[in-house]
Amino acid sequence: MKIVVIQGPNLNMLGIREQQVYGAMKLEQIHAQMKDFATQNNVEIEFFQTNLEGEIVDKIQECYGDAQGIIINAAAYTHTSIAIRDAISAVSIPTIEVHISNIHRREDFRKVNMIAPVCTSSVVGFGPFGYHLAMMGMLQIMQEMQAAKAAQEARTQALQA
């Protein structure tokens, strides 16, 4: 099982940018914690950060046939990008979006969310801890998918017997 974590623009500046909004943790620290949790749970994990919209679209497309889960913080593109929304919809991979801040309590332009309607779920406003919550949620989704697949295989075998 593989999870790909996609981080959008300016998230490479975590720990420097607006600490009162985004906290003091650096992206590398957040990723180190996610990696530990993935290792403990025997899940492969890959991290990708870019400031470019098209590179996020490319990465989501690369996940097709390669990853079983996507955790994405599309950052500012959340509020504008139909291209990222369409890419998530196209690959049909369980996707959890994370926002460090509570985007619903901020400026009106952050209340527009192009991504959420095509995601499995959203984690919003928990600070950097939201990434850990997303990992827990993704593992749960993956376990349910594996159980459903095993049950389907058992039914098929029973029919063939």
Binding positions for ligand DQA, rule: CB under 6 A: 10, 73, 75-76, 78, 99-101, 103, 110
Closer residue to ligand DQA (CB): 55 or 145: 55
**10 Å Cβ neighbour count for 46?**
16
Q: In the numeric block, which tokens belong to residue 127?
A: 């600070």
Enumerate residues 6+ apart whose C-beta is below 8 A from 161.
none
Residue 77 C-beta: closest distance to ligand DQA, Å: 8
Which candidate in 99, 104, 131, 132 is catalytic? Answer: 99
Q: Which residues, at least 6 apart from 26, have a Cβ–Cβ distance to it below 8 Å?
A: 14, 15
Could you give the CA distance from residue 72 to residue 153 in angstroms, rounded to a whole number? 31
In the complex, least distance from residue 150 CB atom to ligand DQA, rounded to whole angstroms: 36
- Find the catalytic residue in 22, 64, 77, 104: 22
Query: Minimum distance between the CB of residue 102 and ligand DQA, rounded to whole angstroms?
Result: 8
Question: Does the annotation count 64 as an active-site position?
Answer: no
Does residue 22 carry a catalytic annotation?
yes
